Structure 1
């Protein structure tokens, strides 16, 4: 009898609230995570910089097991909480490098 193929693992649900909580904890102490709009520009307001991008990428790997391809470690993918969620979800589906 042939072996069954391994079951596909579902991509983790990357939540705006989780991302906002990390960003606030790491970069905006004293701010309530619920106050961080998913479209607030984190780069233009200097909340994060290139080092912050690396911290967030490392957190995504620890929290969700998502490893972002180097091509995805660009500012446009970390500009907002919504952008971070989108790049993480693409990478989790194996669609990174955009």
Structure 2
């Protein structure tokens, strides 16, 4: 089955230790109810950063979508290892 994506963001990721930069594409898929799972899921990909990433979970499809779309929280948690920039080169966070 081909995954359908409903939102996308492109950023530049810089490794703090090496200064190497790479392009990262964050994509959010369509939330769904996995068979037999009491929680809804929403696919999220961090292409160029992680090879695999678990679907976001929620009590319903709206919460699963909210969890998947909270990319700023995920990028902040990676701040000890990476710096992030918009494609323009401007810092992603104003900190």
TM surpasses 0.5: no
Which of the pair has the greater relative contact order for Cα pairs under 8 Å at 6+ separation?
Answer: 1
Relative to the length of structure 2, the TM-score reads 0.33
Which one has the bigger helix percentage?
1
Return the structure number with greater strand share.
2
